[in-house]
Amino acid sequence: MFVTGATQTRVTLAAMTSEAKAPTLAAAASAVMAEPDPARKTGAALTLAHDRRTGGLAGIGLPVPVARPKRPARPELRPPREMPRRRNLQTVKARVALLHALAHIEFNAIDLACDMIARFADFALPPAYYDDWCTVAGDEARHFRLLQRRLDHYGAAYGDLPAHDGLWQAATDTAHDLLARLAVVPLVLEARGLDVTPAMATRLRDAGDAESAAVLESIYRDELTHVTAGARWFRHCCDARSLEPRDTWQRLVRQNFKGQLRGPFNDGARAAAGLPQTFYRPLAAASQSRLKDPT
Ligand SMILES: [Fe+2]
Ligand SMILES: [Fe+2]
């Protein structure tokens, strides 16, 4: 087919315009963070993961730093110290409180995964970095919906109870550096999930809630892949900066994580994810001796 010069110009301009309008991956991830409504935020995160997986959103774009993701009017956010501990899960009230707290963690985890993309968008990072965090964002959205279904089973919903306000703090504390973010969010906070989730699933099963236990076990399997992704990209960034991973991780955790590293640790799962004991055991021992001797 012959195309006249004028037509060819129009075709080329049209292609350029539609290319210019195509959302970048960083912009799409920040749009997920800007969505307060749980149904729409999870929907947007699942779409992000799907689009990336099927070849869309190939253009990374410029970084879009989001100071604070949007939240629904409920749950009411309270300081972490005001949150009750739930050891005995024999009552429906206690199981609902646990499922609600876990749903809140997953809700925040969607934004944390999207922030890995939007804030730290960098052409020097390989495409597999973005593939991984899009997959994580989709997983976290699915986890939230699974927990929401368990709440619904008990006649409850996300937003019914207060939730703690400390989860975005780690993102704020590590907003200045991708390496610090990787050290703290996947390799401290998500790794902690590997330690505590199997016991929570057992307690739910013992309390007669096998369905919620199964949900936690499936979340656990996905979280193992999230910590694995964190460890992979942490080592990648260390290599890129000619840094030794173990000492660098310990230094960044000391500088950027305000809490204490506490066991018991799921050493097997952590090692399988690429986080050996030599990384975290010395820091846990150091924080234990600080607790015993605050001088
Ligand atoms: Fe999750
Ligand atoms: Fe996760």
Q: Is 75 within the bounds of a domain?
A: yes
228-260 in b/e burial notation, b at 16+ Cβ within 10 A?
bbbbbbbbbbbeeeebebeebbbebbeebbeee
Q: Is 26 within the bounds of a domain?
A: yes
Q: What digits encode the pLDDT tens for the residues 100-135?
A: 999 999 999 999 999 999 999 999 999 999 999 999
How close is the Cα of 190 to the center of ligand 1, in Å? 8
Q: Is 7 within the bounds of a domain?
A: no
First-to-last C-alpha distance (Å) of the chain? 83
Q: What is the CA radius of gyration of the chain?
A: 21
Q: Between 191-206 and 92-118, two packed helices, what is the crossing angle to 10 degrees?
A: 160
The mean pLDDT value of the chain amounts to 90
How close is the Cα of 15 to the center of ligand 2, in Å? 38
Q: Is 132 within the bounds of a domain?
A: yes
How close is the Cα of 118 to the center of ligand 1, in Å? 19
Q: What digits encode the pLDDT tens for the residues 155-187?
A: 999 999 999 988 899 999 999 999 999 999 999
Structure tokens at 42: 């999870």
Q: Is 163 within the bounds of a domain?
A: yes
Supply the range of the domain harboring residue 85.
12-292
Of 228, 219, 124, 223, nearest to 178 by C-alpha is 124
Of 193, 210, 73, 85, nearest to 140 by C-alpha is 193
How close is the Cα of 273 to the center of ligand 2, in Å? 13
Q: Is 103 within the bounds of a domain?
A: yes
Of 109, 111, 112, 141, nearest to 32 by C-alpha is 111
How close is the Cα of 232 to the center of ligand 2, in Å? 15
Q: What digits encode the pLDDT tens for the residues 184-220?
A: 999 999 999 999 999 999 999 999 999 999 999 999 9
Q: What is the reported pLDDT for 18?
A: 41
Structure tokens at 24: 């970048």
Q: Is 222 exposed, middle or buried (0-12, 13-18, 19+ CB in 10 A)?
A: middle
Domain count, the chain: 1
How close is the Cα of 143 to the center of ligand 1, in Å? 5
Structure tokens at 252: 């960044």
Phi, psi for residue 164 in degrees, rounded to 5: -90, 150
Q: Is 4 within the bounds of a domain?
A: no
How close is the Cα of 134 to the center of ligand 2, in Å? 11
Of 60, 53, 55, 67, nearest to 28 by C-alpha is 60
Q: Specify whether the backbone of 61 is left (phi greater than 0), alpha (psi in -120 to 50) or beta.
A: left
What are the helix and strand counts (H, E) for the chain?
12, 2
How close is the Cα of 108 to the center of ligand 1, in Å? 9
Q: Is 162 within the bounds of a domain?
A: yes
| pLDDT band for position 286 (cuts 50, 70, 90) | confident
How close is the Cα of 106 to the center of ligand 1, in Å? 5
How close is the Cα of 221 to the center of ligand 2, in Å? 10
The 3-state DSSP class for residue 78 equals strand
How close is the Cα of 219 to the center of ligand 1, in Å? 6
Residue with tokens 């910590």: 227
Which ligand approaches the C-alpha of residue 219 most closely?
Answer: 1
Q: What digits encode the pLDDT tens for the residues 18-29?
A: 445 668 999 999
How close is the Cα of 287 to the center of ligand 1, in Å? 27
- Show the CA angle centred on residue 201, arms to residues 199 and 203, nearest 5°: 70
How close is the Cα of 91 to the center of ligand 1, in Å? 24
Q: What is the reported pLDDT for 167?
A: 84
How close is the Cα of 85 to the center of ligand 2, in Å? 22
